[in-house]
Structure 1
Amino acid sequence: MTETIVLGGGCFWCVEAVFQRLRGVMRVQSGYCGGHVDHPTYEQVCEKNTGHIEVVEIEFDPREIGFDDLLGVFFETHDPTTPDRQGNDVGPQYASAIFFQSPEQEAVARLHIEHLQDRLGVPVVTKLLPKARFWPAETYHDNYFERNPHQPYCAFVVSEKVNKFIRRFPDKLKTS
């Protein structure tokens, strides 16, 4: 039995690369969520007028990793305090967002955000949104970091996120 969650934490290449390495995660698919255009393209989303957020749809086994642990990794590997921005990536498509798939996920996410805000002492701007239509990204985005590790953005930005995850969560890495 698996569960699904949709998370936006900046560029989906970064988020995908982190969650692919997380024990208990069965599948990670980059895509778009929350907008008003059917079948959006990367180019349309980058124009910043479709309302979509770059996200990943994560299928996970709750017997191997809890939803709260997924959120812990999510919040430690992106900045949930900058609206519509992750580093040099700026625009509404880079919003920090959780598209909850059930009332239980919503309740856990809401508590996680409240505790994180108390710990940080600054507002957490992560959007907590109900389940919305997920549109898979174009296939050239699949496993982007794995296929393009020397591309400059991957070498300097994605690799840093992955390395941060590995340093922070060595006990949560997949073994194979």
Structure 2
Amino acid sequence: MKKIILILLAVLAINSANAQGKKTEKATFGMGCFWCTEAIFQKLKGVVSVKSGYEGGQLEKPTYEEVCTGLTGHAEVLEITYNPMEITYSDLLEVFWKSHDPTTLNRQGADSGTQYRSVIFYHTPEQKALAEKYKTDLNKTNAYGKKVVTAIESAKPFYVAENYHQNYYLKNGNAPYCRLVILPKLEKLEKVFKAKLKN
């Protein structure tokens, strides 16, 4: 009888581990050009997939050209699917805050317009609370020497960007833009978040 109970417990443990391992969650961040930021999150342990796209605007199924006008209200964003057993939402927030300038309104570097705004689209009340606490703490400690202006909003419909925007750095790593703009961000990531990176 003991042997049967032990076998049943082992099966339950395996099933529970498999169920937990398959459970994923979503995080959505806008932090400037998605070409630059997609490559950062793709390198993190626990991140299952990263999709570049558009969120937060009025137009259904916008094109890149329409979003670039700044008139649709969309931001360029990343929809990140991650395994919370391997990486937490707090970890993702830390990478988000440290991988762009959250103090510039509608601008990242040379890119300006509402489509490049710093924004967090939260999917759960817990994500909202964590994002708001992190932002409050950054402003309280004056971490950037300027006020953090990142918007924190409820998730809106997400529209996947055109295929040529997906895996941009992986497909175009030798292009001048990738070497000059994206590579330095990845090098910084490797210094600051080495323990969180995939092998």
Q: Distance in 2 between matches of 1:141 and 1:57?
A: 13
1:20 maps to 2:42: yes
The runs of at least 4 consecutive aligned structure 1 residues that moved more than 6 Å come to none
Structural mapping, 1:6-45, within 5 Å = 6-45=28-67
Q: Distance in 1 between matches of 2:186 and 2:66?
A: 27
Greater share of residues in helix:
2
For the pair shown, the structure with the greater C-alpha radius of gyration is 2
Instruction: Tell me if the contact between 1:68 and 1:108 (Cα under 8 Å) persists in the aligned partners.
Output: yes
Instruction: Tell me if the contact between 1:99 and 1:131 (Cα under 8 Å) persists in the aligned partners.
Output: yes
The amino acid that maps onto 1:36 is Q
Match of 1:154 in 2: 178
The amino acid that maps onto 1:117 is N
Q: Distance in 2 between matches of 1:96 and 1:105?
A: 16
**Where does structure 2 lack aligned partners over 5 or more consecutive residues?**
1-22
Instruction: Tell me if the contact between 1:48 and 1:93 (Cα under 8 Å) persists in the aligned partners.
Output: yes
Q: Distance in 1 between matches of 2:139 and 2:42?
A: 27
Match of 1:2 in 2: 24
TM-score with structure 1 setting the length: 0.97
Question: How far does residue 122 in structure 1 lie from its aligned partner after superposition?
Answer: 2.3
TM-score with structure 2 setting the length: 0.86
Q: 2:169 aligns with which of 138, 145, 151?
A: 145
Q: Provide Cα deviations, 1:72-129, integer angstroms capped at 9, x if missing partner.
A: 0111110000111111111110000000001110000000111112232421110101
1:171 maps to 2:173: no
Q: Distance in 2 between matches of 1:115 and 1:48?
A: 31
Q: 1:76 aligns with which of 60, 78, 98?
A: 98
Instruction: Tell me if the contact between 1:35 and 1:50 (Cα under 8 Å) persists in the aligned partners.
Output: yes
Q: Distance in 2 between matches of 1:28 and 1:84?
A: 22
1:125 maps to 2:171: no
Identity of aligned residues (%): 49
SS at the partner of 2:27?
strand
Structural mapping, 1:39-58, within 5 Å = 39-58=61-80
**Where does structure 1 lack aligned partners over 5 or more consecutive residues?**
none
Q: Distance in 1 between matches of 2:122 and 2:33?
A: 19
SS at the partner of 1:135?
strand
Q: State the Cα RMSD in Å.
A: 0.8
Comparing 118-127 with 164-173, which one deviates more in the overlay? 118-127
Match of 1:110 in 2: 132
Instruction: Tell me if the contact between 1:84 and 1:95 (Cα under 8 Å) persists in the aligned partners.
Output: yes
